[in-house]
């Protein structure tokens, strides 16, 4: 009788030791990318205009958004209209050339626009109106 050896079978394994590192770097990459792509995530229906010169974001302007239902956001943080002037003054304190980029819904009344512009004037801020690029053919 011949002796037969029993072959030991090894089961296949997938090494997941570095999976945590890879997932961490992917998460970090997408977090950084998402903040760079959309500095202002409030959805506002902007009026159209022809392309002018781009805004210099190196001066760290403040983004003020006014939605169709008259909700006010400063850099994605909601603010009451009564507190808007104080918050703008606080945010622009110490800036050499305070700049506020105004994202105002095109369906709002002119008076809403004028009210916000007067607040910017009292706060001695340079107000820039954000527009959506016009569809050119």
CB 76 within 8 A of CB 39: no
For the stretch 64-89, pLDDT in tens is: 888 888 899 988 888 998 998 899 88
The reported pLDDT for the residue numbered 12 is 79
Is 124 within the bounds of a domain? Answer: yes
- Per residue in 99-136, pLDDT (tens digit) is 888 888 888 888 888 888 888 888 888 888 887 776 64
Q: Is residue 11 included in any domain, yes or no?
A: no
Distance in angstroms (rounded) separating the CA atoms of residues 110 and 63: 19
From CA 65, how far away is CA 70, in angstroms rounded? Answer: 9
Q: Is residue 36 part of a domain?
A: no
CATH number where 109 lies: 3.30.420.270
Gap between the Cα atoms of 111 and 80, Å rounded: 17
Is 26 within a domain? no
Label the pairing between strands 99-104 and 62-66. Answer: parallel
Say what the pTM is: 0.57
pLDDT digits 0-9 by tens, 40-68? 566 666 666 666 666 555 568 888 888 88
77, part of any domain: yes
* Spatial contact of 101 and 59, defined as CB atoms under 8 Å apart: no
Residue range(s) defining the domain that contains residue 63: 48-133
Domain count, the chain: 1
Using the predicted structure, report yes or no on whether residue 97 has a pLDDT greater than 80.
yes
- Structural domain includes residue 20: no
pLDDT for residue 38: 57
């Amino acid at each position: 009788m011949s002796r037969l050896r029993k072959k030991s079978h090894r089961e296949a394994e997938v090494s997941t030791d570095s999976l945590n590192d890879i997932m961490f770097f992917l998460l970090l990459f997408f977090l950084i990318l998402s903040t760079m792509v959309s500095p202002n995530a409030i959805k506002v229906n902007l009026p159209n205009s022809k392309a002018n010169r781009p805004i210099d974001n190196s001066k760290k302007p403040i983004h003020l958004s006014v939605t169709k239902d008259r909700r006010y956001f400063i850099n994605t943080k909601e603010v009451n209209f009564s507190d808007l002037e104080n918050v703008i003054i606080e945010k622009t304190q110490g800036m050499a050339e305070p700049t506020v980029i105004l994202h105002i819904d095109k369906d709002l009344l002119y008076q809403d626009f004028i009210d916000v512009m007067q607040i910017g004037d009292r706060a001695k801020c340079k107000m820039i109106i954000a527009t959506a690029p016009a569809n050119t053919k």
